[in-house]
Amino acid sequence: MWALDSCCTNNEDVAGAVDIKIENNSLSPPGFDTVEAGPDWLSTSASSATCPPSSPKDVSVPAVIAEPSQSGPVPKECAEVDGLPGLPGASPAAAPAAAAPASQAASAPLPQIPPGRLSPSPAKASSSTTPVKKGFLVTLTQEQRDQHVHYIKTLPSDQVAHAYREIADEGRMDTPLLFSVIERCSEALRETHPKLYYNKDVIREVVKRNWGTLPHCASDFRNDKDIVLEAVRQSGWALEFVDERLRDDSDVVLAAVSRSGGALKFANRSYTAQKNVVSAAVQQNGWAIRYAHPSLQTDKEVALLAVEAAGCALQFVGKQLRVDKDVVLKAVTKDGAALEYADASLHGDRDVVMAALGHNGASLKFATSDLKSDREVVMRAVSRSGYALQHADSTLSADKEVVMAAVSQTREALRFAQKSLQSDKEIRALCHDGSTSCCSRRRA
């Protein structure tokens, strides 16, 4: 049994007074352990309590933590869920003196929720209310839970955590309600009851449902490989919130970068020089090559994987590979704009430029003057993007066929044609059925 000192008058005080110990695969404060520890703390007056002695297995507790219940002993109805022992120490003696008959409880009206606040949930749940995994607490009826969920769904996401904190302890001990709340607001995890907050099985399921709750877990859970793997398999970016020890774990890092290549940024530096890790990262996200060790940025095999996933990742590969026609061709085929990052010697390579224009006509901007005056090259460009006409040689901006191809793509391209063609009836008809064109608006 343990209690809170009278000095613990707010969330921060409570957080500082809680000692944690790990037993039976569960992280819990003293008194939350197992059957040996009773729930007497639930009925202990904060003004007459004393803080427990320090435990040798202290862990950091978030600054925001649920306050102890002042609502009395845990009801008998919660003594067993799915055939498992219920709350520690729960017994008939701990139940309310006069329990209402089941028929009366079923007919009793549900508590009304006043606007802007969630009401307590005095009615207790039975084990048949909602199906959950064995060992997960169920303390609300389905009707009560639905009422809370419906209200929470009407709130902006930035108010959900506060609203959840306003629910009575019985509600914040309800595991299915917690699962519904964290779908709206991951930060609300900090407001749940300590019996859930320090339960490894509950937290693993919470993280599995919403990886964004990982930053709000107790530090020991952010250092738990099983829980961390659940998070990074959903989003590799969760690696940012993982304990440093696990950023150096190959299983965790590989799972993270395979899901989100950019997570390579948060891996231990040694992994940025491991080809298998970097290759997995750039295959998922070519931009991840920017976080690779320089020795791998000049590796042609890795570079090809990167530009195949993101053409413009060419800007982060080694200079010697930006001259490599194979690498550059692969890049501009994926994204014509990558021509900008190719070595200048390839800006005049007809094969490279034509490949780039096939994807992005505006890439004509980066071609050499010789190619900008090449009719076939320019026609390919304006057929993809009418705006490419502005980069064509002046002799081709006066070519009616070229201009018509550009205007067919974008009527605004007429402004880049020679003035002699801006008033051409056939071209203006393409521009908008002969109506005033963009070039006329520009002169106005």
4-21: average pLDDT: 41
215-229: average pLDDT: 94
Please give the model's pTM, rounded to 2 decimal places. Answer: 0.62
Contact status, residue 416 vs residue 425, Cβ threshold 8 Å: no
pLDDT of the residue at 377: 94
- pLDDT, tens only, 347-394: 999 999 999 999 899 999 999 999 999 999 999 999 989 999 999 998
pLDDT of the residue at 24: 44
- pLDDT, tens only, 306-360: 999 999 999 999 999 999 999 999 999 999 999 999 999 999 999 999 999 998 9
pLDDT of the residue at 134: 59
pLDDT of the residue at 432: 62
- pLDDT for 404 beyond 50: yes
pLDDT of the residue at 135: 63
- pLDDT for 43 beyond 90: no
pLDDT of the residue at 127: 36
239-262: average pLDDT: 94
Q: How far is CA 384 from CA 108, 199, 418, 431, in A?
A: 70, 58, 20, 17
pLDDT of the residue at 417: 85
